[in-house]
Structure formats: structure tokens, C-alpha cells
Amino acid sequence: MCRQLEKCRRHMECACYIDAPRSPKCFTLGRSKNTIPPHRPPSQTMSLLMMLRTLGRTALSITPLGMGCWPIAGITSIDVNEDDSLATIRAAFDTGISFFDTAYCYGFDGESERMIASVLRQDREKIVLATKGGIHWVAGKQARCGRPETLRRECDESLRRLQTDRIDLYYLHAPDPHVPIEESAGAIGELIQQGKVQSAGLSNANVGSLDRFHRACPLTAYQPHFNMLQREIEDAQLPWCVEHGVAVIVYWPLMKGLLAGHLPREHVFDSKDGRQKYPMFSGDEWQKNQDFVDELRAMAIEIERPVSQIVLNWTIQRHGITAALCGAKRPHQIRENAESLSWSLTSGQITRINTAIAARGPIVSKAAVS
């Protein structure tokens, strides 16, 4: 658990903890029992008193929102610069976010991992670090390799970039179709035995791969895409994770900004903007999605909360979801996202959102890694 937050929990008198369980784990897997009282100013509560959730069956605890550190690498996002990226990492930490997620391939030369180290190496004991191996860059294109020797080499390089002696959660970024997943899992198991890694994760996988990996090396976490419109994991992967005590850490809760409510219907994407390759951002799908976001915008006006906070609040209340990863390029973005932990949607509001989701109907979905 983040030591700073645990210290606050033991020594500060706060209404947040009057009814909290005596165990240091205030959240069970994917289910929140406590939220920061809305009457307390976020500036006073969020930085020190964010509620924590247990990471699978480990002793690690994480904030329900983590910072996803892909956008700051600037590969598919436009208008990214190092100063803003470093400031965004610091802003995330200052708001109380203690969970940072990156990968070997987040940047052509590990820029994301290096920036995390630059900002947070002095606060290493106060955060939980997750990174991934198995995807790298070749001539400007992503290549997948899950061979044990590759994972060992990439893990060692990630440790150097992050300037740390251990990685709290190490994922196989995606199964390699040319390498039995048991071999990849075995390599991560060896890294755990060596003390370089504390727990194992798997991303971008189906239930069959989850089960095979878990048999070879017990899984702590699974990382898929998931949001109000892309809920494919609810059919199989999510129930499997709940049954096996595996944490579910989702990316794309705001679907690359679509569900943040800031993109107008008439928005024209820059030619360098990577979102254009996803069907949700063009044609009829774009119009239908804007109709859905209009429903969220109406609710946002009524309850005086940003659309992004409504979406994130809904996401972290879903059964089985342990945490949501929010990408950000500017400090104000991560601060706005973090404030979604300072209040809670009512059951009636959640029902209204679910009705709007059902009315939106089937979508054309595309995965980040296929």
C-alpha cells in the first residue's frame, strides 16, 4: 500500500474512516464501500485520503483511478511536449493518484518510463508502478514478441528507465501468437522469483489466454479496454476475473476523449491524430456517439459535474472493475479526472445512464492491439 496514504489512515481523524474496516484494505475487488464525503473540499481530501482498492490477492493497494502514461509519449497524440507531460505526472501524484501505468513501448525510446522516473523517483515508496513487456518498435511500427528472453531483456531495460529495483505489476502486453503463452507466463514467474517483479498481469487477451497464463503463473491483474460503449469484457473476461480474484484495470474509460464531452460534433481531426483509425470517431458511428454524449452533457448540466467525471464515476462503480486508467497530456485534465473520486453517482443516475447506453445500441468497436 502507498505508505503515505496508510500513515494518514492510521493517524488522522477523518469522517472518511469512521465506518471503515479495521483491515488496511478498505476496498474489496472492484467494489467501493466508501467515498470521500462531497462536503469536504477536494483539495483537502483527494491528495491524502483517497480510498484504496486491493490489487488482486496481493498486499498492494491502488487508487481507483490510475494515470495511463501512453499519451505523454506523444506517438499518436498531438500537441504533446515534455514540460507539460512532466507537469501532468506531478499533478496526478499531487492530487493523490498513487497508481501509474506505462509500458516498454510507450515512446520510441522509453520516453514514458523515463519521465515517470524523472518526476517520481524520490517518491517511489508512495506509488505503485505497472509496466508491460512484449511489444516494441521496429522501423516505426509495433512488433510483438513474447519470448522469455525478450521479456527478461525488456524488463531489465524498464527497471533502468524507471530507476527502480522492482516493478510492482508487470504485464505481458499482449499474447504473442507465435509463442505459447505458458512460456511468456513462465518468464514473468521467473522475474517474480528473482525479485525484479512483484506480481504478474496480462493485457489484451481473451478468456482462453487468461486461463492458460494463470495456470502457468498466477495472475494478479488483467488490463482490457472498457468504457460505457465498449463493454465486450462483460460477457466472459470480467466474470472470469471476478471468479479467480484477478483485478481488472481498464484503459480507455473515456475512449480517447470521446466520452470526456469536450469534442464537439463538428470537430475536425488533425491528420496526425491517431483516433481517426477507430470507427467510433467517424461516419454514422461518430454521430450516434455524439447523440449519446449529448445525454451525458444534459446530466452534467443538471448535477453540475463535468461529463468526464460522470463517466469515470460510473466506470469505477461497475462490479469487478478495480481501477480505471486515465490518460492525460495536461495537468488540468488529470485534476478534473481525479475529482471524480470526491463524489458518487446515485443509483437513479446510474440507471439513467444504463438506459442511455442501451438506447445507443450496438457499436462498431476496434481494439488497441489486435
- Helix, strand, or coil here: 68? strand
Q: Which residues have a catalytic role annotated?
A: 106
Asked if the model's pLDDT at residue 92 lies above 50, the reply is: yes
Percentage, residues of the chain above pLDDT 70 = 86
Which is higher by pLDDT, 158 or 77?
A: 158
Can you list the pairs that 10-14 forms with residues at least 24 positions away whose Cβ atoms lie under 8 Å? 12/48, 12/49, 14/49
Confidence of residue 50 (pLDDT cuts 50, 70, 90): low
For cell 514467474, what's the residue? Answer: 189
Q: What's CA 219's distance to the chain center, in Å?
A: 17
Ordered domains of the chain (ranges, CATH): 3-360 (3.20.20.100)
Per-residue pLDDT tens over the stretch 122-141 = 999 999 999 999 999 999 99
**Residue pair 338/65 in contact by the 8 Å Cβ criterion:** yes
Confidence of residue 358 (pLDDT cuts 50, 70, 90): very high
Asked if the model's pLDDT at residue 179 lies above 70, the reply is: yes
pTM of the model: 0.86
Instruction: State the cell numbers at 275.
Output: 483516433
Q: Tell me what the mean pLDDT of segment 169-196 comes to.
A: 98
Per-residue pLDDT tens over the stretch 66-85 = 999 999 998 888 889 999 99
Asked if the model's pLDDT at residue 36 lies above 80, the reply is: no
Per-residue pLDDT tens over the stretch 202-228 = 999 999 999 999 999 999 999 999 999
Confidence of residue 60 (pLDDT cuts 50, 70, 90): very high
Instruction: State the cell numbers at 117.
Output: 522516473
Instruction: State the cell numbers at 267.
Output: 470537430
